[in-house]
A = this chain, B = another copy of it.
């Protein structure tokens, strides 16, 4: 397999100033895989309960996603309920039901071992470490979240140290490095053995740091955000998917990959759940990719 991703498959209930949905398809690896599919086949490692609607699995498969690593377990699917206020920069969690996720021990399909690219979405760093050890991919990229930085910082650091790249959001970067300055945080993270760092800044875009490169990508300008859920995982999916598709991991490819990630995320937030991803096409991705060039150009005219 070219690309494998470990993460959650969820039933989300979300309220924003623009609407409300109940028990819709969500989860980090759902967004990630649907976003990556434009560039690479993606194998999924995750778990759902017996209550999980079969049509979701069919939909994912019909979009070219490999589900041989998805376990259907006795019990209920992982559920997240949250809301966004008017500024939509922060998700407020109302309830998290781990359900089948609580006892999830990923079983690795044979075809996933030694894959080219492995993405470890936010989850317990012990599980991330274990999966990484079992799969032994060529390249590994990971995410984490505030909860794990707070409770298992050392283990998070161990995972980071084995990653080719980490993709985290600005709050996590500030928390992990204990500084409000994102430039300092990005460079600090490079000292821990990770060669490449992407810091996601939501409406302000993303920053990339490596030994020889600094890149600042804006976000695509949107007037009508409906639901920011999944934006970060879709950004990661587009970014890592592009790299896996090309089999490259150099600064130049990563910069392009980030713009693809930003473009795909911009379509996700314009609708609820994965609706914006389901119907997305390569043509529409390329259209906004072209606009990105105009948005940042101040010398060359495109």
Which residues of A are interface residues toward B (Cβ below 8 A)? 86-89, 180-184, 187, 201, 203-205, 207, 214-219, 221-223, 225, 252, 255-256, 258-259, 292-301
Contact = CB atoms under 8 A, between A and B. Distances in A.
A216 B203 CA distance: 12
20 contacts: A86-B180, A181-B222, A181-B223, A182-B203, A183-B222, A184-B223, A204-B204, A207-B221, A214-B294, A215-B295, A215-B298, A216-B219, A216-B221, A216-B296, A217-B298, A252-B301, A255-B298, A259-B298, A292-B298, A296-B298
Report the 9 A-B pairs with minimum CB-CB distance, sorted nearest first.
A216-B218, A87-B180, A255-B298, A204-B204, A296-B296, A183-B221, A184-B223, A183-B223, A216-B295
Contacts of A86: 180
Contacts of A205: 204, 216, 218
B218 A218 contact: yes
B214 A221 contact: yes
Nearest to A295: B216
A182 to B, nearest CB: 7
* Chain B CB within 10 A, most for which of A218, A259, A296, A298: A298
A50 to B, nearest CB: 41
A217 B255 CA distance: 16
Contacts of A203: 182
A242 to B, nearest CB: 12
Given A207-B221, A296-B296, A296-B298, 15 more contacts: A87-B180, A182-B203, A183-B221, A184-B223, A204-B204, A214-B221, A214-B294, A216-B296, A218-B218, A255-B298, A256-B298, A256-B299, A292-B298, A293-B298, A293-B299
A258 B299 CA distance: 12
Contacts of A182: 203
A256 B297 CA distance: 9
A207 B292 CA distance: 13
* Chain B CB within 10 A, most for which of A183, A207, A225: A183
A219 B259 CA distance: 18
A183 B207 CA distance: 20
A3 B139 CA distance: 55
Contact of A223 (B187, B221, B298): B187
A112 B217 CA distance: 41
A75 B187 CA distance: 49
Given A180-B86, A187-B223, A214 B258 contact: no
Contacts of A298: 215, 217, 255-256, 258-259, 292-293, 296
